[in-house]
Structure 1
Amino acid sequence: MTSELLPGFIPSDVEVEPGVQIHTVIGGSGPPLLLLHGHPQTHVIWHKVVPSLCERFTVVACDLRGYGDSSRPRGDAAHGNYSKRTMAADVLAVMRSLGFTRFLVMAHDRGARVAHRLGADHPEAVQRMVLLDIAPTLAMYGKTTEAFARAYWHWFFLIQPSPLPERLIEADPAAYIRDVMGSRSAGLAPFDPRALHEYQRCLALPGAAHGLCEDYRAAASIDLEHDRADLAQGRRLAMPLLVLWGAQGVVERCFAPLAEWRLVAEHVDGEPLPCGHYIPEEAPDILLARALPFLAA
């Protein structure tokens, strides 16, 4: 299925630590560009934009640990196995294994949180980043309102202690995909049925629901500790950031994305786009028009 949506891409499973492999696909030629997906999806989210990206870049698209066809290790008590620090180290190891020591990043949703930590922990590796439809994790938890909690209910459902949310997702993973993704502003209309099938296939794999939950448990615990440490020590992202978000989405309604990113990064530009949360699939042409000049700068 992935080969149908990303023709010409070469798949690879990169071992980043003993017993943990990150599923990766590679295509195109030119400067290296790392693509990271969000919840509850896989690298397939990029299928509408990669043809244009491959004309200018060597595109490396990964499934985050716990997602897609990457490894799904058990979580630990401190949720460190799914901290964004660990997930950032995963994708850095992938890029280094391919010979890329410095590269561009475009990332959506959960992947953008991994990208944030990647830029904070390994600034020498990241040239510039496009971050899609998020405000910083610390800001989103710290400024939670009733409106945000109702719209992003899954943030508070998935962090409940194991195995309750896992058991409920595993009862019908396909319905979880349809209900979560279909409840956003555009419904299910923007999604290629083959992509939806791929998201559903991957969430039904053994351990996938646990990996997904652990990602969120880490975000509500150890990731906040790391973010607070950055603030306390005055560490800010130094590379240029382009922040884009959906004008019809929750981030637009509940937060001030540019203001929040400017608190943690030196060089931030961005704007809302005329779409909802799933920018690469809802508004691929608009995303390319805004991101390509920034990435090529």
Structure 2
Amino acid sequence: MTGPTTLLPSFTASDVEVAADGGPPLRIRAATAGSGPPVLLLHGHPQTHATWREVAPRLAERFTVVAADLRGYGDSGKPPSDGAHLAYSKRAMARDQVRLMRALGHTSFAVVGHDRGGRVAHRMALDHPDAVERLAVLDIAPTATMYARTDREFATRYFWWFFLIQPAPLPETMIAGATEEFLQAHLRGQSATGGVPAPDLAREYLRCYRDPDTVRAVCEDYRAAATVDLEHDAADAREGRLLRRPVLALWGGRGTVGRLYDVAATWREVSGAAVQGEALDCGHLLQEELPEATAARLEEFLALR
């Protein structure tokens, strides 16, 4: 499909086929607008690229903006699972997005990632340093750090990290029996702002979550995070690989990540480049709870050259 996208009406949505190692081409849904230096926006769980609908148009006034669905999410392809969870490793997800940007004519670009998208962006900056010019991560600390420092409070607040990784088909089956209830409870826990997510965005996320393949892919994403992604992170640590591009870390001052971690410090631990950090007065969903403040801070960071 190619044409306007309802939740980002000033953007053009298209399905782009990218090469997928060891399998057929993979469809990636992307929405594009604007002109200027390219910026890739990556969403988290359980969102889609529509989560950027208030931030992306402002950024498109100065940048070429590409808001994409990660593999397994939204209207992107959902490849089969595998025993090692490689199909949903952040390495594979990052490779998709680099290939998407190349297909759109962008060999180097800035990347902004929220939640799972931030983890993909982190891996992308490590694996493809020539492609990533600047990196912004929203409301996350590095995956390995969060697992290594897990305590009762974190496990209670982020219970899905430990529920979704259980062997298939247990979490998939349980979510299938209460899909809307599970999703609504998850979304309520993410936001510290009344009315967020907006009803039409919540309906969009539910539309996607009602697809059993989306739920399977979500579980595989989290299973990969607890296995193969940690193996990749451990290899980076052994080899002394650090981020080599400027980093902006934003987080919600009323959210779990901001409460439990010195977020900017965690990113300095894995970076050999400058790291800026700032809390915003919201919960986990910065781009939906405080879109103007989030866009302004991103615009300032992305404009630096």
Give the one of 247, 256, 260 matched to 2:253.
Answer: 247
- Verify: 1:204 aligned to 2:207, yes or no: no
Offset from partner CA, 1:17-47 (integer Å, 9 cap, x none):
2142111111111111100000011001000
- Alignment partners' CA distance in 1, 2:246 and 2:57: 24
- Verify: 1:11 aligned to 2:13, yes or no: yes
Aligned to 2:35: 29
Give the letter for the 2:50 counterpart: V
Q: Which secondary structure state, in structure 2, belongs to the residue aligned with residue 218 of structure 1?
A: helix
- Verify: 1:84 aligned to 2:90, yes or no: yes
Is the deviation greater in 284-293 or in 80-89? 284-293
- Verify: 1:47 aligned to 2:49, yes or no: no
- Alignment partners' CA distance in 2, 1:78 and 1:291: 36
2:46 touches 2:205 (CA, 8 Å); kept in 1? yes
Percent identity over paired residues: 52
- Alignment partners' CA distance in 1, 2:29 and 2:167: 27
Aligned to 1:190: 196
- Verify: 1:160 aligned to 2:166, yes or no: yes
- Alignment partners' CA distance in 1, 2:102 and 2:7: 26
Aligned to 1:290: 297
2:193 touches 2:282 (CA, 8 Å); kept in 1? no
TM-score scaled by structure 2? Answer: 0.94
1:74 touches 1:210 (CA, 8 Å); kept in 2? no
Deviant stretches of 4+, over 4 Å: none
Give the letter for the 1:219 counterpart: A
Aligned to 2:236: 230
1:32 touches 1:104 (CA, 8 Å); kept in 2? yes
Aligned to 2:269: 263
**What's the offset of the Cα at 1:187?**
5.9
Give the one of 121, 131, 140 matched to 1:134.
Answer: 140
Offset from partner CA, 1:45-73 (integer Å, 9 cap, x none):
00011221110111101110110001111
**What's the offset of the Cα at 1:3?**
2.4
**What's the offset of the Cα at 1:184?**
3.4
- Verify: 1:97 aligned to 2:118, yes or no: no
Give the letter for the 1:39 counterpart: H
Q: Which secondary structure state, in structure 2, belongs to the residue aligned with residue 9 of structure 1?
A: strand
**What's the offset of the Cα at 1:183?**
2.1
| CA RMSD after TM alignment | 1.2
- Verify: 1:276 aligned to 2:283, yes or no: yes
Q: Unmatched 5+ residue regions in structure 1?
A: none
1:120 touches 1:236 (CA, 8 Å); kept in 2? yes
- Alignment partners' CA distance in 2, 1:49 and 1:194: 16
- Alignment partners' CA distance in 1, 2:96 and 2:190: 30
**What's the offset of the Cα at 1:275?**
0.5
Q: Unmatched 5+ residue regions in structure 2?
A: none
TM-score scaled by structure 1? Answer: 0.97
- Alignment partners' CA distance in 2, 1:82 and 1:19: 15
2:193 touches 2:283 (CA, 8 Å); kept in 1? no
Aligned to 1:108: 114
Give the letter for the 1:35 counterpart: L
2:5 touches 2:31 (CA, 8 Å); kept in 1? no
- Alignment partners' CA distance in 2, 1:164 and 1:136: 27
**What's the offset of the Cα at 1:4?**
2.8
Give the letter for the 1:127 counterpart: E
Aligned to 1:74: 80
- Alignment partners' CA distance in 2, 1:51 and 1:85: 28
Give the one of 145, 156, 162 matched to 1:150.
Answer: 156
Q: Which secondary structure state, in structure 1, belongs to the residue aligned with residue 33 of structure 2?
A: strand
Give the letter for the 2:131 counterpart: A
1:34 touches 1:60 (CA, 8 Å); kept in 2? yes
Offset from partner CA, 1:141-181 (integer Å, 9 cap, x none):
00001000000000000000000101111223222221101
Give the letter for the 2:40 counterpart: L
